[in-house]
């Protein structure tokens, strides 16, 4: 019996992986421009990090974590997201004491959630995310949002919708919480058991319930935005002013609450509104999480960030019909005719590669015609043909596959010739 890939995971094969690499490269380059530095944290953490960080009453912690005991009896969890780990490292490595504040970090890596797999929803997926720790300037909220938007736009996406909301500061959230409890309490019996539990623990989570989404009380629930105090409102106004200044269009959505507990003030999501995009349209989510650093044992430090998955990024590119030129082809294919020539190309191939060129030769004893076919498949810019006679005369014939021009070149100067032609 053959063994299949686990549900909700993917193999990314050659031919597909180039697009992943391009997105990852573009993200890294953008982070360099915005001055975010990479952080790599472990794939698993102590379970408590997520139950405390992401929040005990969230779907992620209650239903979606891959949690296991190690041989020492410790409870570990495969990371469902990157913010908690980043903040843990920030606290543990005392990055709050670094001279360069705010600390601006990014990560690219696998995350794990035990969700019901469907288009755009996987159990293992790759998130690119950024976190800016140590600034409560609304300008950095706008910077973080603009980084995400510019990444999408730089890959050609245009059918994007940015929605933002403010979850306010602690005082605003307490006022809103009371209003939510009074709103739902009289009829909480009509809601699912999760929501009933959430009523006292964390009524905001009720608004995020997938099961009771259509209940009439959901539509009339008090919106946080009406409960913002003066300071929170001023902060949110300033974020909007900066977004406008950056030419980023947005919509304020008072119902946006996000699925993780650590948020306050700015919350945002970027959706694809391309026709034919699946049911799950959120490409990217993020927000401010002042208070999380303290929750994880560090000093009072504000923070904001976002994460997006490469899987949904690619789905959005496909929905917009964007074809990126990811497979640009190799520089040179070395075709050989005759045993001596074949032997000689072993060394010549290495010379080309050490000179900075991408090059390939035949390894399965193809006839010359089939070698040309192989060169075509690799989209070779040049095909160099070496026969035994040419080898004796210190010559090699080089064909430019774009122009069709062919030239005989001295074998000794071939590598230099090709370098000049290609680089």
Under rule CB under 6 A, residue 362 binds ligand HAM: no
Q: Which long-range contacts (CB under 8 A, 24 or more apart) does 321-329 make?
A: 322/155, 322/156, 322/157, 324/19, 324/22, 324/155, 324/156, 326/18, 326/19, 326/21, 326/22, 327/15, 327/18, 327/379, 328/379, 329/378, 329/379, 329/380, 329/381
Is 10 a residue that touches ligand HAM (CB under 6 A)? no
Task: Decide: helix, strand or coil at residue 335.
Answer: strand
Specify the residue, 122 or 191, whose C-beta has the smaller distance to ligand HAM: 122
Closest distance to ligand HAM from the beta carbon of 39 (Å): 12
Stretch that binds ligand HAM, among 134-142, 284-292, 364-372, 386-394 (CB under 6 A): 284-292
Which residues make beta-bridge pairs with 396? 409
Over the window 98 to 117, marking each residue x when it contacts ligand HAM by CB under 6 A and - when it does not, the resulting string is ---------------x-x--
312 binds ligand HAM (CB under 6 A): yes
**Quick check: 55 binds ligand HAM (CB under 6 A)?**
no
- Is residue 79 at the binding interface for ligand HAM, with CB under 6 A as the rule? no
- Classify 410 in phi/psi space as left (phi over 0), alpha (psi -120 to 50) or beta: beta
Per-residue b/e over 370-402, b at no fewer than 16 CB within 10 Å?
Answer: ebbebbeebebbbbbbbbeebbeeebbebbebe
Residue 370 corresponds to which tokens in the numbers above? 């089939």
- Between 133 and 336, CB nearer to ligand HAM: 133
Least distance CB 356 / ligand HAM (angstroms): 37
Query: What is the closest distance, in whole angstroms, from the C-beta atom of residue 171 to ligand HAM in the complex?
Result: 22
Residue 362 host element (H or E): none
Single out the segment in contact with ligand HAM by CB under 6 A; choices: 100-108, 119-127, 181-189, 389-397.
119-127
The gap from C-alpha 311 to its chain's centroid, in whole angstroms, comes to: 8
Residue 225, SS3 per DSSP? helix
What is d(CA 133, CA 293) in angstroms, rounded to the nearest whole number?
Answer: 9
Residue 261 touching ligand HAM (CB under 6 A)? no
159 binds ligand HAM (CB under 6 A): no
Q: What is the DSSP letter of 325?
A: -
Decide if residue 352 touches ligand HAM (CB under 6 A): no
Q: In this chain, which of 196, 282, 340, 397 binds ligand HAM, going by CB under 6 A?
A: 282
The token pair that represents 47 in the structure block: 């379970």
Nearer to ligand HAM among residue 272 and residue 371 (C-beta): 272
CA dihedral 206, 283, 286, 166 (to 10 degrees): -60
Member of 285, 298, 302, 387 binding ligand HAM (CB under 6 A): 285
| CB-closest chain residue to ligand HAM | 305
- Pick between residue 146 and residue 309 the one whose CB is nearest to ligand HAM: 309
Among the listed residues 255, 259, 256, 253, the one whose alpha carbon sits nearest the alpha carbon of residue 198: 259
Instruction: Pick the closer one to ligand HAM by CB: 131 or 331.
Output: 131
Determine the interface stretch with ligand HAM among 14-22, 23-31, 123-131, 208-216 (rule: CB under 6 A). 123-131
- 50, 125, 277, 372: residue in contact with ligand HAM (rule CB under 6 A): 125
What residues have CB less than 8 Å from 160, skipping those under 6 apart? Answer: 149, 152, 153, 270, 271, 272, 273, 283
Q: Pick the piece of the chain touching ligand HAM (CB under 6 A) from 70-78, 161-169, 277-285, 322-330.
A: 277-285
Q: How many residues of this chain interact with ligand HAM, rule: CB under 6 A?
A: 27
Nearest approach, Cβ of residue 415 and ligand HAM (Å): 45
Between residues 227 and 262, which has the closer beta carbon with respect to ligand HAM?
Answer: 262
Contacts of 241 (CB under 8 A, 6+ apart): none
The single residue among 53, 55, 102, 129 that binds ligand HAM, judged by CB under 6 A, is 129
Letters for 289-308 (x = contact with ligand HAM by CB under 6 A, - = none) are x---------------xxxx
Instruction: Render the burial of 150-177: b for 16+ CB within 10 Å, e for the rest.
Output: bbbeebebeebbbbbbbbbbeebbebbb
How many other CB atoms sit within 10 Å of the CB of residue 43? 14
| Residue (83 or 290) nearer to ligand HAM, CB | 83
How many H helices and E strands in the chain? 15, 16
Q: Residues in the site for ligand HAM, rule: CB under 6 A?
A: 81-83, 113, 115, 121-122, 125, 127, 129, 131, 259-260, 282-287, 289, 305-309, 311-312
């Amino acid at each position: 019996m053959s063994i299949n890939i686990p549900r909700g995971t993917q193999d990314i094969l050659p031919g597909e992986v180039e697009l992943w690499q391009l997105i990852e490269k573009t993200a890294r380059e953008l982070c360099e421009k915005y001055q975010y530095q990479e952080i790599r944290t472990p794939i698993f953490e102590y379970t408590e990090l997520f139950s405390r960080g992401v929040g005990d009453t969230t779907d992620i912690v209650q239903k979606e974590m891959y949690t296991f005991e190690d041989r020492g009896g410790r409870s570990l969890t495969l990371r469902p997201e990157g913010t908690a780990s980043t903040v843990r490292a920030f606290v543990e490595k005392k990055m709050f004491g670094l001279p360069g504040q705010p600390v601006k970090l990014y990560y690219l890596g696998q995350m794990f959630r035990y969700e019901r797999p469907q288009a755009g929803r996987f159990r293992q997926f790759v998130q690119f995310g950024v976190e800016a720790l140590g600034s409560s300037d609304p300008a950095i909220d706008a910077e973080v949002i603009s980084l995400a938007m510019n990444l999408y736009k730089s890959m050609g996406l245009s059918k994007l919708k940015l929605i933002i909301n403010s979850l306010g500061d602690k005082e605003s959230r307490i006022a809103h919480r009371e209003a939510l409890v009074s709103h739902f309490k009289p009829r909480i019996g009509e809601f699912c058991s999760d929501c009933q539990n959430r009523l006292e623990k964390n009524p905001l989570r009720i608004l995020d319930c997938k099961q009771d989404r259509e209940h009439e009380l959901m539509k009339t629930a008090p919106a946080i935005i009406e409960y913002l105090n003066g300071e929170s409102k001023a902060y949110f106004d300033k974020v909007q002013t900066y977004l406008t200044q950056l030419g980023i269009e947005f919509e304020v959505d008072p119902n946006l609450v996000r699925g993780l507990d650590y948020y306050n003030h700015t919350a945002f999501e970027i959706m694809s509104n391309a026709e034919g995009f699946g049911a799950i349209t959120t490409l990217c989510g993020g927000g401010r999480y002042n208070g999380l650093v303290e929750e994880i044992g560090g000093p009072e430090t504000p923070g904001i960030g976002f994460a997006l998955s490469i899987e949904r990024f690619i789905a959005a590119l496909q929905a917009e019909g964007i074809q990126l030129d990811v497979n640009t082809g190799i520089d040179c294919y070395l075709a050989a005719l005759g045993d001596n020539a074949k032997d000689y190309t072993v060394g010549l191939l290495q010379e080309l590669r050490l000179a900075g060129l991408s090059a390939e030769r035949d390894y399965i004893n193809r006839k010359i015609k089939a070698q040309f076919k192989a060169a075509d498949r690799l989209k070779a810019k040049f095909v160099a043909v070496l026969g035994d006679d040419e080898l004796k005369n210190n010559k090699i014939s080089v064909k430019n596959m774009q122009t069709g021009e062919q030239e005989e070149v001295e074998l000794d100067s071939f590598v230099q010739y090709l370098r000049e032609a290609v680089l």
